Amino acid sequence: MSKPLVVVESPAKAKTISKFLGSDYDVRASVGHVADLPSKGLNIDVDNGFKPTYELTDRGRDVVKDLRKALKDASELYLATDEDREGEAISWHLVEHLKPKVPVKRMVFHEITESAIQHAIDNPRGIDYGLVDAAETRRILDRLYGYEVSPVLWRRVNRGLSAGRVQSPSIRLIVERERERIAFVAADYWDIDLLSATSPAFDAKLVGVGGDKVASGKDFDDRGQIKSTASGTPVAIDEARARALAAGLESARFSVRSVEEKPYRSSPKPPFMTSTLQQEGGRKLRLSSSQVMRVAQGLYERGFITYMRTDSVTLSAEAMTATRAAVTSEYGQNHLSPQPKQYTSKSKNAQEAHEAVRPVTPYRSPKQVEGELNSQELALYRLIWQRTLASQMADATGVTVSVRLGAVSEHEQTDCEFSASGTTITFPGYRAVYVAADDDGDGTKEALLPPLAQGEVVPVESLAPNGHTTSPPARYTEASLVKRLEELEIGRPSTWASIIQTIQDRGYVWKKGQALVPTWTAFAVVGLLEQHFTDLVDYELTAKMDDDLDAIANGDMQKDVWLQRFYFGDDESLPGLKRIVEENLDKIDAAAINTFPLGHDDNGELVVAKPGKYGPYVKRGDDTASVPDDMPPDELDVAKALELLALPKSDEPIGEMDDYPVFAKNGRFGPYVQWGSPDDLPPGLDKPRMSSLFSTMTLDQITLDDAKKLLQLPRSLGQDPADGKEIVANNGRYGPYVVKEKDFRSIDSEEQLLTITLEEASKIFALPKVFKRGGRNMAAKGPLREFGTDPVSERPVVAKDGRFGVYVTDGETNASIGKGDRVEEITPERAYELLAIRRDAVAAKGGTAKKSTRKKAAAKKKPAKKKAATKKTAAKKNATVEQPD
């Protein structure tokens, strides 16, 4: 008997929906997009209405084949992809390639519950071709942008670089912040901290001297100068004066000059939308934006939260009722806001789902679901639960007291004034469940002051002069970058996480702790775009593009008309992308774009920094030196550059070992020693042997004996008596270690590498494996799952939890699990498929997959479909175009 076929994006989502629909429906997954523009070439007919040429993806071919087979026995087709642009585009592609002969219905929902799914079944709609046009315009726009601009970067900066509509302005933000840090001039200033001898004790800070305001950090500009205000210019106190004033106050009488009380009230923040979820997930849970979205996607698809890509902060009537009932149940009626609080989004065009990110109804507390979620999922679910409940809770109230104390210092008989303030929260309200994080800490902190009256004498426990230095603007973190992109209205919630990951993967940005640090290559790319393609990195124009995409989705603009104007222009005021590139390419001075002056040495010779093919370097005349990859641009000044240039050069050996030269060098990964040279190799080596210096060593002090010891590494200790496997000691990126096959164990110090014995190492491997987290030793995790033996590599396949998420591996090839896949539900066949796809990708790029593996994997691949050649240049015809923003 025929039954309806329901198609969703992911296997996890399909499984959850199947539980609600039962056996009367056949629920299948498309596993994301089934079709896309081919990765090479333009594949857009710019002279014929910008018609794109799509092809089925490798996975899409199999998906479409299976769905066609299922359609033969289907009574109707329900397309249940996500309710945003991309979801609409997936549904459209499915219709285009399946060519169904049964009725087609579009079902949409923003939460996966039985009632929501049934409502979607009962109230289907057609495909929204406005959303499809917007999605296709975005895809074409990104391809045109990358196809035209990326080759400019290849020719003028370096091969393999890419430009993107949202990517490039994002990089510009990070580079601009680093420029501010480079230009920043620090200023020193002092004040005095007073600790009272009252009960409770309180702290006060010197704020006035002789009637003048004492300067604090916020009173200095980025050049280290004090800013003047309408009320006057603050006075900077230096160390000598601060100490003299403090000494003169030792026997002074401190009295209360004023006491001011103000009511304190704080209101809860709205429920989460995508941007705030990413920001709070980063600040509170220390997750990257992509990690937040990956975990949220899993929670949504398994029916725990509503759709996680949304600009909206509203709650439905059902959710409002459930939220207020949960507040009353968990915290009592007095913690509930008197009236329902409905919030509005600041976004001009909330083009994604139309409700906030919240738990699905009926609500379940974190305690009720803890057995169904792993620790990361539970932490994010708890955050969403708390924020949702807090949004309908009463305001927090209290009293803030500000006090001014005064005394006269015997030093020059100077009048000194101190300030103290404290907040007493009398009713916590929403703070009982949730306090929002920000870049400066966790909201308001309570601080009690004793009852004080004007004229009262306050006993003092201590006076401590305190020195401070102004700090440059903080680098962006993923959370603060998302916040800034949202403020500028650049991109959309669904793009931010992937963009931030992309700019790291492509070498424009790296992380120092949580901070995003630009590379010198990013400086070069941004400089080129600012000077020659200003509009392409203009924040307002980029935001305007997203507004235009919304207009196309709403039917207020025509896709082909907008693309024609963007690409070809329409008059002198809007030349169009194609003409901008053609007119500017020959004007770009590659040498100037890739040169960043640092200053002059004592002889007046210019010292510059430059990005290079093998990493950044500094240059003075013909003299060059590598810059360590982990040195941020704002730390590279003239003094540091001269220090790098003064290090021993690679062509000056420090001695010989077995008649072959030994060199001490400085490279992109730091200082190291090298035995032999490409033209003078010791016997048995096909390249020079290299070893990094220990952290306690410097190039200017390295001796030949030190170098010989370092060149012993990696050092074989022999076979472990326990299992006969070889143990090797070596130094790595994360410190010294011993390794047996692929089992790595850290050891205490680098010096231990030269002295550790086989017996000592064997004892280390006999202990349970541990890793560091938060300065503590934690038991190492084993495989999350075991799948069996891979039919291609004939090696055991397991799932592991890695730095960038869950992946499957056979010990030779690693493959991240696909969108919508859950490790608990992946079949062995799916795990083997992910590895095969990864091998094919590596082989296509000329990677290092084993030859036998590549042949086996290639034998299973279907021949690629031939495409007609375009009338573009050969260089562009073969260009690999970057994936969209």
State the CB neighbour count (10 A cutoff) for residue 709.
17
Here the tokens at position 874 are 């050969």
Which amino acid makes up residue 491?
G
Between the alpha carbon of residue 191 and those of residues 414, 449, 588, the distances in Å are: 14, 21, 51
CA distance 179 to 157: 19
Segment holding 833, helix H or strand E:
helix 828-844
CA 115, 121, 126, 129: dihedral to nearest 10 degrees? 40
Residue 434 annotated in active site: no
CA distance 196 to 179: 43
Estimate the share of the chain in helix, then strand, then coil, as percent rounded to the nearest 5: 35, 25, 40
Let me know if 44 is exposed, middle or buried by CB neighbors in 10 A (0-12, 13-18, 19+): buried
CA distance 327 to 385: 11
Q: What is the DSSP string of 398-409?
A: EEEEEEEEEEEE
Q: Are 434 and 268 in contact (CB under 8 A)?
A: yes
Q: What is the 3-state secondary structure (H, E, C) of 85-100?
A: HHHHHHHHHHHHHHCC
CA distance 754 to 577: 60
CA distance 370 to 367: 5
Among residues 78, 307, 363, 381, the one annotated as catalytic is 307
Angle made by CA atoms 716, 718, 723, in degrees to the nearest 5: 130
3-class DSSP assignment, residue 181: helix
Q: Are 139 and 54 in contact (CB under 8 A)?
A: no
Between the alpha carbon of residue 698 and those of residues 328, 637, 656, 703, the distances in Å are: 64, 20, 19, 10
Q: What is the DSSP string of 690-738?
A: EEEPPTT--GGG--HHHHHHHTT-SEEEEE-TTT--EEEEEEETTEEEE
Provide the b/e sequence for 509-521 (b: ≥16 CB within 10 Å). Answer: bbeeeebbbbbbb
State the CB neighbour count (10 A cutoff) for residue 60.
21
Which amino acid makes up residue 659?
D
Here the tokens at position 406 are 């005064």
Which amino acid makes up residue 204?
A
Q: How far is CA 556 from the centre of its chain?
A: 34
* Catalytic residue list: 307
